[in-house]
Structure 1
Amino acid sequence: MSESNHRTENDKRDTMDESDVKDSATDKENTEQTGSYWGQASAAGDDRKVAYSEWDDSRLLVPSSFDLGAGAVDKYVISKQISRMQEPRRLTHDDLDERRIIYPESKDRTLVNRFRSLRTKILELSGGNNFTLVVSGACEGSGSSFVALNLAAAFAFDQAKTALIIDCNLREPTIHSRLDIVTDSGLTDFLDDPEYDIARILYPTGIPRLRMIPAGSQRESAAEFFTSFRMKQFIQAVRRRYPDRFIVIDTASVEESPDARILAELCDYSMLVVPHGKMTPGAVEQAAQSFNPDKFLGAVING
């Protein structure tokens, strides 16, 4: 990863994110944070590293964020800004097909419709409000990352909404590689350092209106990171700051670690991914009991 202290005027015009939407008080109190990160160029098989301007969500965790209600930012203004968001790079349809990531024009209508249906059911349960959702596998190799990423992509279909996927699988993080993004810092770096700028861990994904926070470079003692007060503040802030952003969290399986159970207590909902034909009903039921029944949405069969 390479840091830059400057951004060209073209970069400023072309990089607009939700953090550009703020009330006048916040506008006066904060100065714009800038930076850059390195990603992989995908066009024509080019594997060279290309600098992309960083999306300025650095004001996400200003102190006022913790006191904001769900409707603190004018939804009409946000919707207008979201419709103008651009991407430093775009994954092509071939890129998305290769990675098995859904998109509105995908020829795999069955897969697209399944995730759209799942999205609709969750929205009905939430009353249309945004939320934080933990997605975890019932066992290792369940495919929770596949489900989490595609569900986040489905929420980003709506041009008036955005989605954020957070990779909390500290043991085997995969979201960044699925999206062909090179990172050198992420969530654990932010949690470990009170002075760390959140703009350094927010990455465009190449998918319109979808952002990613990778796991981070420090991956020991995952439970200590997730039980920290700063993690609780972080979850509350990303949930409240933007009423039109849906947050999906990918975690290690409940069989491998307690991380999913810990994170589920901080979030609005939890979901279990079960590999088709690989677990007994009793084992699935035992995995489901790991979650608070008041927040548990159910199980998704993957396969």
Structure 2
Amino acid sequence: MNNPMHNPDSGAPAKADSGKVTPITNHLITRASSSHALTPSQLRERSIIFRTDVARPEVDAFRDLRTKLLAAAEGNFITLVAPVSRGCGGSFVARNLAAAMAFDDNRTSLLVDCDLRDPSQDATMRIETPAGGLTDYLDNPEQDLAKVLYDTGVPRVRLLPAGRQRETGAEYFSTFRMRVMLDSLRSRYSDRYLFLDSPPVIGSPDARILADLADVVVLVAGYARDTPATIAQAAANFDPRKFAGVIFNEGI
């Protein structure tokens, strides 16, 4: 099944209709409101899909992925979006899965940037983060979690940015405070779905540790970038019971 999508994240903003995402496995894969809703032009600049009255392949692709996730898990689940390697578009997929989930007026999304070495979501979405983000909250027991949850301008989508950069997230993701935080974020609102934007699987243990905190794992592979052997190696890191499948992210 071919689903046209955007380019993966890169140094320059991707156009909304410039690539595609393709699922390649047969099995998977108070309400937040925006005080400053972004315009369609602003959403395109940030490589974020949005609803219109005209059918668009890239939007339909993410809707299809959302539907498969909802069929694969129960309740308001936590999804780990893990790129096989750096540059194959994992952050792009995570961001737009969160947006697609929030298309439904009865659901909200929280996007958590867990790529502590190379965070990108706050910069791509052009969000100022005066209170910091994930690492700042985990480092400071006195930090108010609500202060690091930011309005994205996308209706019903919030962002928990990575915060201060770190070489590895293993020491953070394996803490009791991290687990309690995720449980709290999910349990407070039954309509809230969490999407964890993971570091690359190859070359770091972070994605494997994060998978223990998630209900569903989606692997993102770069089309003509990651080899079948590399994809298989990455997939082997995850519990088959959680593994939803692989998405090919293709850019032009």
Shorter-chain TM-score bucket reads: 0.7 to 0.9
In the TM superposition, 1:64-213 aligns within 5 A as 82=31, 86-105=33-52, 109-127=56-74, 129-184=75-130, 185-213=132-160
Choose 1 or 2 for highest CA Rg: 1
User: Would you say the 8 A contact 1:93–1:106 is kept in 2?
Assistant: no
Q: Which residue of 1 aligns with 2:233?
A: 286
Q: Give the Cα separation in 2 of the matches to 1:231 and 1:271.
A: 20
Q: Secondary structure at the match of 1:299?
A: strand
Q: Secondary structure at the match of 2:212?
A: helix
User: Would you say the 8 A contact 1:235–1:267 is kept in 2?
Assistant: no
Q: Secondary structure at the match of 2:106?
A: coil
Structure 2 unaligned blocks of 5 or more: 1-29
For the aligned residues, what is the CA RMSD?
A: 1.5
In the TM superposition, 1:175-254 aligns within 5 A as 175-184=121-130, 185-254=132-201
Structure 1 unaligned blocks of 5 or more: 1-80
Give the alignment's TM-score, normalised by structure 2.
Answer: 0.83
Amino acid at match of 1:225: Y
User: Would you say the 8 A contact 2:173–2:210 is kept in 1?
Assistant: yes
Amino acid at match of 1:147: V
Q: Give the Cα separation in 2 of the matches to 1:179 and 1:164.
A: 14
Equivalences, count: 220
Q: Give the Cα separation in 1 of the matches to 2:205 and 2:185.
A: 22
Amino acid at match of 2:244: L
Amino acid at match of 1:176: D
Identify which of structures 1 and 2 has the higher relative contact order when contacts are C-alpha pairs closer than 8 Å and 6+ apart.
2
Amino acid at match of 2:94: A
User: Would you say the 8 A contact 1:166–1:250 is kept in 2?
Assistant: yes
Give the alignment's TM-score, normalised by structure 1.
Answer: 0.70
User: Would you say the 8 A contact 1:189–1:218 is kept in 2?
Assistant: no
Q: Give the Cα separation in 2 of the matches to 1:263 and 1:277.
A: 26
Q: Give the Cα separation in 2 of the matches to 1:298 and 1:137.
A: 12
Which structure 1 residue ranges, 4+ long, deviate > 6 Å from structure 2? none
Q: Which residue of 1 aligns with 2:210?
A: 263
Give the number of the structure whose residues are more often helix, by fraction: 1
Q: Secondary structure at the match of 1:266?
A: coil
Q: Secondary structure at the match of 2:248?
A: strand
User: How many percent of aligned residue pairs carry the same amino acid?
Assistant: 46
